[in-house]
């Protein structure tokens, strides 16, 4: 086996192992220690006692002792491949009772000693320096053995006996370079395995006679078949293959690393065609020589699938048409010819039974299967990684493929020119992969009408046109890695359930998406340059509302890109307030607050009589201000009483019970014309006398007062002009409302005073009385009265 292949094999094992380790790691009880490629010459001493998986492959370890691993009692998997171990006593593992996977491949083992207590599932001793097969009696007791890797330079029938009763799933047998001297063709007769892989020595022409038709095998893989000298069908290898007929169970045959001539290659193909093999796979083929193989006999085959992968051709002038014809007319269901540098493929000459055709990684052009009606059964076609250029040609190619459901034309250079006209895609197409091409927005005008899965990732799409024909069946759309600026709605894709749109240029995905796409099960929209501004809030909110499985990669792949201050912040953690984002809301909020204020004020006015309070407070402040301006001397001259009260007889109850007691309580001296009556003078003269001796005059206004009393004063004011506009000396108390119309028109002064609204209103509510009295007192001006008191005292 070549170095590449052995390492591929090694990688395969590592890969499986990693998968295995992965699944086991999820258990949390596994403990992986990887010391591979670290230049070790000995097993390291500092390993955790909990180690369950130890990888010390690709080092320089030459020895394995009990003391190296005795403490690792939990060890399950040990990989020591690619080291320098020459001798191994399996008893070193006797204390590692959990050990079930042991990889000792690619060492220099010549000899091993077995130990009875081991019970491995996987034992790999391949690619070592054993002469004879390293199969000891104890191996026969490993009833769990699933994989056994062996190597030897000579095979003996007897050496297989110990393991003849095991049911091994897979045996890898690597034959050393010196194998072949004394071959016993029967040596594998007793091998009991489902799957056998034999690696022949690389150095020589294939001239072996080993019978590989192991009776239990279902699958056989043969590596390293070099057969360049015998251009006539490679007879020794053909002999080996022809014996496969004996094993009727054998269904899978794989040939790796074949180096032969074109003629021999076709003869081998022809030979296998007539065996029981159902799945034939050939990989890594190197071909040379002429092609003069004649007609291929397609009759009587069990073959269902042929796969030819990776072909290198050393011949320049090749009758290509002939080769393509042999391939295209194969009467099988599955055909793969990949990485084979094919430049063309011809149409089968009659209706082909092919269901699956895979021509990936070739050099095919748009001309492939042009006007080819004979692939009417084809369901799956892959032309991935070829030289396709015009989508219109591919559309026309499918027109005749009436059964085609799956088409992969990814990784070509496809573009679509709208001017090409109509798009007669085959109506059967359900899954179309056009990823990694150079398609633009126009591709949405040319899509198969019933497509369910559409992969357009890694193209040059900037937007999905709104007026595309509706794709009602589309369930899965991948437009990742394009230049889309918007998250499309599902208007035209009413069945869409999976949308992949990550790695685009979407900055403000619309929140309407989830409304528009009712059937969406999965949205992958991460790694876009999200603009973390107000507009994004709704989207973030609607993500929060859908179930968490729907938005793939949330929250890790959804990060703010702009503004700079938010760069890298996960959208999940981006918060702005509802108010600062929504202008309408802001306006409404202001409006509502205003309204609430207005309503409050109205309620206060109507139910609590706010204006009355305001007027009272206003008068209070005015009187205080006026009081300050009154010169003291003036007081000294005139004052004998603080206030004169005039009222109607009808209101005398209020005056006597409320007004006078409240004022006299404050030491306010009051002049009442009936109380301070001066005999011999008329009522009017007494009143005027009272007014002139008083600092203030209080009129208790009521409709009665207007009718019975005011006449005296109106006349008096007219003559004496005592109470000017703005005079301080007049206090009006409105006991009961006086309708404007009830004031006789001749009372000019009263009308004027009422219009100025400078009166104090007697409130009916008891709670307001306190303020009324305080205001009245202020109007009379207590502070000045104190002065007046002092003055009058000194006078006495
Ligand atoms: C974890 O591994 C232990 C032993 O290997 C096994 O008994 C147990 O069932 C495993 N647990 C889970 C959850 O896989
Ligand atoms: C080994 O496992 C034990 C029990 O499971 C645990 O307590 C201990 O911390 C582990 N040691 C290491 C080095 O992980
Ligand atoms: C295999 O196991 C059986 C029973 O467990 C035992 O009798 C026999 O000696 C073992 N053989 C070897 C070679 O260890
Ligand atoms: C044989 O090959 C087919 C197709 O590659 C595969 O599905 C099947 O599992 C193989 N069988 C065995 C036993 O390897
Ligand atoms: C076609 O073959 C290639 C190479 O064998 C493989 O990687 C690819 O998955 C196949 N494609 C399909 C659609 O099966
Ligand atoms: C389309 O092909 C690409 C490879 O070219 C592959 O990675 C992708 O998974 C395919 N898409 C689908 C939907 O199968």
Please give the number of the atom of ligand 5 that sits closest to the Cα of 382: 13
H or E, element range at 684? helix 683-693
For residue 263 the two structure tokens come to: 């003629």
Tokens at residue 61, please?
A: 């370890």
Gap between the Cα atoms of 60 and 69, Å rounded: 17
Ligand 3 midpoint to CA 123 (Å): 19
Is the C-beta atom of 50 inside 6 A of ligand 2?
A: yes
Ligand that lies nearest to the alpha carbon of residue 25, given by its number in the listed order: 1
Q: List residues near ligand 5 (CB under 6 A).
A: 309, 336, 338, 358, 360, 382, 408
694 vs 227: which has the higher pLDDT: 227
Residue 20's pLDDT band (boundaries 50, 70, 90)? Answer: low
User: Could you give the domains of the chain?
Assistant: 1-159 (3.80.10.10), 611-795 (3.40.50.10140)
Q: Give one DSSP letter per residue of 528-593, joined into a string.
A: S-EE-SHHHHHHHHHHHHS-TTTBTTTTTT-BEEESGGGTT-BGGG----HHHH-HHHHHHHHHHH
Ligand nearest to the CA of 135: 3
Ligand of minimum distance to the alpha carbon of 169: 4
> From the CB of 138, is ligand 3 less than 6 Å away?
yes
**740-756: b (≥16 Cβ within 10 Å) or e:** eeebeeebebbeebbee
Ligand 3 close to Cβ of residue 4 (< 6 A): no
CB 365 within 8 Å of CB 397: no
Whether the pLDDT of residue 95 is over 70: the answer is yes
Q: Which of 130-144, 209-223, 488-502, 713-727 has the lowest mean pLDDT?
A: 713-727
Sheet with 760-761, strands from edge to edge, namely 670-671, 641-646, 694-701, 730-734, 760-761
Q: What is the pLDDT of residues 658-690, one digit of tens each?
A: 888 888 887 788 887 777 777 777 777 777 777
Q: Which residues line ligand 6 (CB under 6 A)?
A: 384, 408, 410-411, 433, 435-436, 453, 455
Rounded distance, CA 17 to CA 327, Å? Answer: 37
Least confident of 28-42, 45-59, 180-194, 732-746: 732-746
The enclosing H or E element of 320 equals: helix 320-328
227 alpha carbon – ligand 4 mean position (Å): 27
φ and ψ at residue 643, rounded to 5 degrees = -150, 145
Please write the tens of the pLDDT for every residue from 572-588: 888 877 777 777 777 88
Name residue 453's beta-bridge partners: 431, 476
Q: Quick one: pLDDT band at residue 795, thresholds 50, 70, 90?
A: very low
- Residue % of the chain over a pLDDT of 90: 43
CB atoms within 10 A of CB 518: 11
- In this predicted structure, the answer to whether residue 784 has a pLDDT above a threshold of 60 is no
Mean pLDDT confidence for 593-599:
85
Q: Which of 424, 472, 425, 416 is nearest to 444 (CA)?
A: 416
Residue pair 36/55 in contact (Cβ under 8 Å)? The answer is: yes
Please determine, for residue 175, whether its predicted confidence score (pLDDT) is greater than 90: yes
How far apart, in whole angstroms, are the C-alpha atoms of residue 654 and residue 764?
A: 12
CA of residue 408 to ligand 6 center, whole Å = 8
Query: Does the beta carbon of 393 lie inside 6 Å of ligand 3?
Result: no
Give the 3-state DSSP-derived string for 179-235, with helices as H, strands as E and coil as C: CCCCCCCCCCCCCCEEEEEEECCCCCCCCCCCCCCCCCCCEEEEEEEEECCCCCCCH
Atom of ligand 3 nearest to the CA of 162: 13
Ligand nearest 361 Cα, by number? 5
* Sequential DSSP letters for 629-656: HS-HHHHHHH-SEEEEEE--GGGHHHII
- Quick one: which ligand is closest to 140's CA? 3
Give me Rg for the CA atoms of the chain: 54
Residue 746 scores a pLDDT above 80: no
Ligand 3 pocket mutation, candidates 91, 141, 164, 165, criterion most atoms within 8 A of CB? 141
- DSSP 8-state symbol, 657: I
Least confident of 482-486, 601-605, 791-795: 791-795
Angle between helices 748-756 and 710-720 (to 10 degrees): 100
Q: From the CA of 281, which ligand is nearest? A: 4
* pLDDT, tens only, 363-410: 999 999 999 999 999 999 999 999 999 999 999 999 999 999 999 999
Ligand 5 atom having least distance to the Cα of 307: 5
C-alpha 794, offset from chain centre: 96
pLDDT of residue 489: 85
How many Å apart are CA 175 and CA 127, to the nearest integer?
8
Kindly report the CA angle at 461 between 458 and 465, in degrees rounded to 5? 145
Centre of ligand 2 from the C-alpha of residue 50, in Å = 6
Q: What is the pLDDT of residue 103?
A: 96
Ligand with an atom nearest the CA of residue 115: 3
Is 703 a residue whose pLDDT tops 70?
yes
**Residues near ligand 4 (Cβ within 6 A):** 195, 218-219, 252, 279, 305
Of 90, 113, 116, 139, the one to substitute when testing ligand 3's pocket (max ligand atoms within 8 A of C-beta) is 116
What does the pLDDT average to over 245-260? 93
Ligand 2 atom closest to the CA of 48, numbered from 1: 13
In ligand 4, the atom with minimum distance to the C-alpha of 307 is 5
- Considering only CA atoms, which residue is closest to atom 4 of ligand 6? 410
pLDDT at 628 over 70: no
Residues whose beta carbon lies within 6 Å of some atom of ligand 1: 27, 29
CB of 119 within 6 A of ligand 3: the answer is: no
- The angle, 0 to 180 degrees and rounded to 10, between the axes of the packed helices 583-608 and 610-629 is 80
Q: Among 363, 362, 357, 394, which Cα is nearest to 378's?
A: 357
- The contacts of residue 589 (CB under 8 Å, 6+ apart) are 579
Window from 90-94, 243-247, 791-795 with minimum mean pLDDT: 791-795
* d(C-alpha 116, C-alpha 97), whole Å: 12
Which runs of E-coded beta strand occur in 56-209?
A: 77-79, 87-89, 101-103, 111-113, 122-124, 147-152, 168-175, 193-199
pTM strictly above 0.85: no
Closest CA to 476 of 414, 552, 546: 552
Reference 481, options 463, 497, 496, 460; nearest CA is 460
Mean predicted confidence (pLDDT) in 10-37: 66
Distance (angstroms) between ligand 2 centre and the Cα of 103 equals 26
pLDDT of 57 strictly over 80? yes
| Mean pLDDT score, 502-512 | 90
What is the Å distance from ligand 3's center to 141 Cα?
6
Q: Has residue 427 got a pLDDT over 60?
A: yes
- Does residue 632 register a pLDDT over 60? no
């Amino acid at each position: 086996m070549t170095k590449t292949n052995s390492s591929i094999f090694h990688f395969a094992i590592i890969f499986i192992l990693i998968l295995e380790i992965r699944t086991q790691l999820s258990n949390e009880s596994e403990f992986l220690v990887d010391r591979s490629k670290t230049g070790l010459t000995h097993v390291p001493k500092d390993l955790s006692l909990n180690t369950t998986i130890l990888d010390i492959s690709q080092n320089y370890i030459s020895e394995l002792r009990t003391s190296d691993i005795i403490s690792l009692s939990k060890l399950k998997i040990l990989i020591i491949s690619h080291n320098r171990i020459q001798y191994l006593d399996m008893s070193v593992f006797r204390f590692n009772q959990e050990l079930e996977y042991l990889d000792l491949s690619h060492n220099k083992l010549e000899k091993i000693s077995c130990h009875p207590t081991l019970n491995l599932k996987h034992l790999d001793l391949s690619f070592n320096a054993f002469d004879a097969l390293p199969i000891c009696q104890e191996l026969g007791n490993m009833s769990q053995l699933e994989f056994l890797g062996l190597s030897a330079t000579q095979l003996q029938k007897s050496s297989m006996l110990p393991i003849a009763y095991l049911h091994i799933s897979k045996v890898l047998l690597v034959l050393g370079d010196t194998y072949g001297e004394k071959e016993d063709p029967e040596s594998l007769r007793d091998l009991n395995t489902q799957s056998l892989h034999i690696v022949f020595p690389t150095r020589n022409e294939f001239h072996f006679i080993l019978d590989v038709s192991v009776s239990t095998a279902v699958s056989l893989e043969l590596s390293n078949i070099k057969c360049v000298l015998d251009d006539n069908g490679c007879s020794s290898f053909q002999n080996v293959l022809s014996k496969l007929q004996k094993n009727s169970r054998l269904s899978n045959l794989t040939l790796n690393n074949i180096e032969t001539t074109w003629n021999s290659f076709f003869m081998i193909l022809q030979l296998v065609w007539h065996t029981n093999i159902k799945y034939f796979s050939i990989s890594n083929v190197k071909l040379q020589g002429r092609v003069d193989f004649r007609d291929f006999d397609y009759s009587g085959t069990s073959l269902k699938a042929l796969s030819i992968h990776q072909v290198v051709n050393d011949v320049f002038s090749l009758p290509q048409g002939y080769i393509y014809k042999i391939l295209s007319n194969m009467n099988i269901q599955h055909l793969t010819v990949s990485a084979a540098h094919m430049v063309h493929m011809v149409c089968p000459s009659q209706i082909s039974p092919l269901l699956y055709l895979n021509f990936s990684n070739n050099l095919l052009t748009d001309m492939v299967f042009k006007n080819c009606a004979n692939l009417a059964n084809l369901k799956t076609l892959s032309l991935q990684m070829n030289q396709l250029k015009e989508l219109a040609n591919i559309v026309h190619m499918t027109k005749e493929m009436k059964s085609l459901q799956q088409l992969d034309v990814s990784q070509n250079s496809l573009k679509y020119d709208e001017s090409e006209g109509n798009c007669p895609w085959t109506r059967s197409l359900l899954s179309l992969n056009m990823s990694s091409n150079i398609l633009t927005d126009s591709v949405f005008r040319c899509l198969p009408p019933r497509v369910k899965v559409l992969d357009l990732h890694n193209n040059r799409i900037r937007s999905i046109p709104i007026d595309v024909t509706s794709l009602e069946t589309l369930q899965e759309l991948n437009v990742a890695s394009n230049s889309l600026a918007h998250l499309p709605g599902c208007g035209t894709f009413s069945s869409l359930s999976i949308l992949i749109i990550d790695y685009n240029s979407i900055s403000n995905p619309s929140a309407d998406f989830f409304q528009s796409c009712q059937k969406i099960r999965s949205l992958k929209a991460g790694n876009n340059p999200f603009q973390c501004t107000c507009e994004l809030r709704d989207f973030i909110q609607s993500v929060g509302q859908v179930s968490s499985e729907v938005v793939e990669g949330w929250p890790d792949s959804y990060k703010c890109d702009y503004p700079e201050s938010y760069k890298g912040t996960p959208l999940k953690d981006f918060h702005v307030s509802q108010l600062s984002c929504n202008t309408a809301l802001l306006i409404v909020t202001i409006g509502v607050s205003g309204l609430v204020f207005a309503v409050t004020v109205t309620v206060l006015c109507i139910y609590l009589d706010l204006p009355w309070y305001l007027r009272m407070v206003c008068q209070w402040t005015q009187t205080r201000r006026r009081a300050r301006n009154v010169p003291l001397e003036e007081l000294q001259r005139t004052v004998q009483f603080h206030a004169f009260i005039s009222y109607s007889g009808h209101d005398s109850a209020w005056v006597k019970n409320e007004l006078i007691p409240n004022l006299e309580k404050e030491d306010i001296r009051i002049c009442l014309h009936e109380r301070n009556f001066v005999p011999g003078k008329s009522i009017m003269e007494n009143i005027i006398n009272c007014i002139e001796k008083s600092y203030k005059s209080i009129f208790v206004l009521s409709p009665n007062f207007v009718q019975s009393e005011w006449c005296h004063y109106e006349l008096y004011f007219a003559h004496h002009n005592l109470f000017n506009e703005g005079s301080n000396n007049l206090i009006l108390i409105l006991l009961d409302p006086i309708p404007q119309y009830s004031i006789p028109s001749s009372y000019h002064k009263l009308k004027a005073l009422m219009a100025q609204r400078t009166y104090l209103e007697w409130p009916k509510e008891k709670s307001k009385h306190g303020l009324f009295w305080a205001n009245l007192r202020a109007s009379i001006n207590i502070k000045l009265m104190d002065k007046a008191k002092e003055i009058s005292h000194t006078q006495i």
